[in-house]
Amino acid sequence: MTEEAQQDLFGADEPPRIELAEGFFLLKAFVDTAPLLAQVQQVAAAAAFRHMQVGGGKQMSVAMTNCGPWGWTSSTAGYRYSATDPQTGRPWPAMPARFMDLAQKAASAAGFPGFEPDACLINRYAKGASLGLHQDRDERDLGQPIVSVSIGAEAVFQLGGLKRSEPLRQLPLRDGDVLVWGGPSRLRFHGVKALKPLPGGPDTRHNLTFRKAQ
């Protein structure tokens, strides 16, 4: 990416970095999301958003798709990464170069240089959609961080501890905010409360979650 393109995507000034816990960072207003949303739409044209099932047959309220060499999938059989889209039998769409640049810059800004994600989960939240409290532990190398990018409507992120029973911190996330966590915070429980779009604002939220799956 050229220096001019980097300034267009990230802005001329280094955005503020807030350490919420050891190894868990919030990068406020880190990225201009308009180009990202256009590329989300291109990915979805090749691998449509879908509501995956979880154990017991319940359907997720969040719609999901993937891009990159690996995609995260869920069914009544459990969770796994797959190199192909179960709906089409084809490889997931390639990860846009802009996505990769963003993930690497965010990880580096949070103190995790050398991040090379091979999976980007794309979640779409409509009004009322939520993501239950969970850990990201399906990846082969838990030494690699997670990078999570917020696009669109404001959401409330729930940040927990290493045990499900630990207290939750409520964290408003706005368009362009990025979370990065790894190291001692890599297995913190987290989730997203039911989306309540603000009057006059976007009615949908997208989230890009970058991981090193394999």
pLDDT in tens, the chain (214 residues): 333 333 334 444 556 899 999 999 999 999 999 999 999 999 999 999 999 988 777 899 999 999 999 999 988 778 899 999 999 999 999 999 999 999 999 999 999 999 999 999 999 999 999 999 999 999 999 999 999 999 999 999 999 999 999 999 999 999 999 999 999 999 999 999 999 999 999 999 999 999 999 9
Residue 5 lies in a domain: no
Residue 2 lies in a domain: no
Which runs of consecutive H residues, i.e. helices, occur in 56-163?
Answer: 97-109
Q: What is the structure's pLDDT at 14? A: 57
Residue 24 lies in a domain: yes
Output the pTM of the full model: 0.92
Q: What is the structure's pLDDT at 69? A: 98
Q: What is the structure's pLDDT at 212? A: 98
What whole-number distance in Å separates Cα of residue 26 and Cα of residue 187?
16
**Structural domain span for residue 124:** 15-211
- CATH code of the domain covering residue 62: 2.60.120.590
Residue 3 lies in a domain: no
What whole-number distance in Å separates Cα of residue 53 and Cα of residue 121?
15
In whole angstroms, what separates CA 140 from the centre of its chain?
A: 18
Report the amino acid identity of residue 167: P
Number of domains in the chain: 1
Residue 10 lies in a domain: no
What whole-number distance in Å separates Cα of residue 213 and Cα of residue 81?
7
Report the amino acid identity of residue 14: E
Residue 85 lies in a domain: yes
Residue 7 lies in a domain: no
